[in-house]
């Protein structure tokens, strides 16, 4: 059973070699490694071609720069594996037999989605993310698993921490929306509408690299505007939905996850530049009603504070708390 691994590449010459080596050194051999050179201006494109010459499983797509979503979509168009995985070009797989373990489970169970753990890799330490309730996933439907993940704040929106059946992606045209900073969130919420069978393995395989100044460690008005786009899109879809029992749990869970996203925006408000504060506040005010859809303790806490103190003071409190947490992480 073949696994297609899609790696978007853009100006990552210093990281690409170690990323690809972590894949081709896997004990699982039936791989299609797709390097999508997204118009790199450094030597990344040349390095992609060199890596393809060294291993016939490596396939290179060169294209004009279109962003991460466009690069992933280009990879999906040439993928031939029964399952698809996404790997960012500055990250790595940590366990040489990790893919072998994943594909053994995929072959045995044939899930739509197979989840595995990520490891947050910082300059001075590593943290393994929360373990999955494997038994629950083996005995419940996809939408029930989705709801449980969101309720327990275990839902990870990254496309990279899972294997997905390629025919599911093709059947439902599950491509990434271009131009978003939070493309994984929008894509994941659409994906889980169609997931019937989920399996998971508590295997710390994906090494998610955190570097100072990277997109994952900064938050600007562009991030919040991307969130606003997702809020608007799914709130509208929720309003227009045909009410049917089979889909209601999915929609309740989507709205619950949007409430969690809104809460995270409150924590991040303090990072937004002063010149953009008024625009950010207007967005938060416009979508404050998302909190009414909370299905987690974290968002319930925000609701209580908001009702007691009002939105302005709630934003200030959580922004200050967010600053304090970031200070502690740097220590």
- The DSSP code for 82 is S
pLDDT digits (tens, 9 = 90+) for 25-62: 999 999 999 999 999 999 999 999 999 999 999 999 99
- Buried b or exposed e, range 217-253, using 16+ CB within 10 angstroms: eebbbebbbbbbbbbeebbeeeeeeeeeeeeeebbbb
Rg over CA atoms, the chain = 20
**188 pLDDT exceeds 80?**
yes
206 pairs with which residues across the strands?
A: 93, 118
Share of the chain above pLDDT 90, in %: 78
Q: How confident is the model at residue 107 (pLDDT cuts 50, 70, 90)?
A: very high
**325 pLDDT exceeds 90?**
no
Query: Which H or E element spans position 251?
Result: helix 245-268
Whole-number Å distance between alpha carbons of 183 and 177? 6
pLDDT digits (tens, 9 = 90+) for 231-269: 999 999 999 998 887 799 999 999 999 999 999 898 888
Q: How confident is the model at residue 199 (pLDDT cuts 50, 70, 90)?
A: very high
Comparing 4-8, 130-134, 218-222, 279-283, the range with the smallest average pLDDT is 218-222
For residue 186, the Cα-to-chain-centroid distance in whole angstroms is 9
pTM: 0.93
CATH number of 3-215: 3.90.550.10
- Residue-level pLDDT at 212: 66
Q: What is the DSSP string of 106-161?
A: HHHH--SEEEEEEEEE-SS-EEEPPPP-HHHHHHS-HHHHHHHHHHTT-----TTS
Query: Which H or E element spans position 317?
Result: helix 311-330
Whole-number Å distance between alpha carbons of 79 and 3? 9
- Residue-level pLDDT at 215: 45
Q: What is the mean pLDDT of residues 304-327?
A: 82
- Residue-level pLDDT at 86: 98
- Residue-level pLDDT at 310: 87
């Amino acid at each position: 059973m073949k696994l297609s691994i899609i790696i978007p590449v853009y100006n990552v010459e210093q990281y690409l070699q170690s990323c690809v080596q972590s894949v081709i050194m896997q004990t699982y051999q039936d791989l299609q490694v797709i390097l999508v050179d997204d118009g790199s201006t450094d030597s990344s494109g040349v390095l992609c071609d060199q890596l393809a010459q060294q291993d016939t499983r490596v396939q290179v797509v060169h294209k004009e720069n279109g962003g991460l979503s466009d690069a992933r979509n280009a990879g999906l168009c040439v993928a031939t594996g029964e399952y698809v995985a996404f790997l960012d070009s500055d990250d790595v797989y940590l366990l040489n037999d990790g893919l072998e373990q994943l594909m053994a489970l995929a072959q045995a169970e044939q899930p739509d989605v197979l989840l595995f753990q990520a490891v947050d890799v910082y300059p001075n330490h590593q943290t393994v993310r929360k373990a999955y309730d494997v038994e629950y996933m083996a005995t419940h439907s996809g939408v029930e698993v989705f709801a449980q993940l969101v309720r327990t704040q275990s839902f990870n929106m990254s496309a990279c921490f899972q294997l997905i059946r390629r025919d599911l992606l093709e059947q439902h045209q599950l491509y990434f929306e271009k131009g978003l900073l939070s493309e994984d969130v929008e894509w994941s919420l659409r994906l889980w509408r169609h997931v019937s069978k989920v399996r998971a393995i508590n295997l710390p395989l994906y090494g998610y690299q955190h570097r100072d100044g990277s997109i994952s460690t900064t938050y600007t008005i562009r991030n919040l505007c991307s969130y606003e786009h997702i809020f608007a899109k799914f709130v509208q879809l929720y309003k227009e939905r045909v009410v049917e029992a089979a889909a209601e749990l999915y929609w309740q869970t989507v709205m619950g996850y949007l409430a969690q996203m809104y809460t995270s925006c409150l924590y991040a408000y303090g990072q937004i530049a002063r010149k953009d504060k008024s625009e950010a506040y207007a967005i938060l005010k416009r979508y404050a009603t998302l909190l009414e859809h909370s299905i987690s303790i974290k968002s319930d806490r925000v609701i209580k504070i908001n009702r007691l103190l009002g939105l302005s003071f709630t934003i200030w409190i959580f922004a200050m708390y967010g600053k304090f947490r970031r200070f502690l992480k740097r220590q």
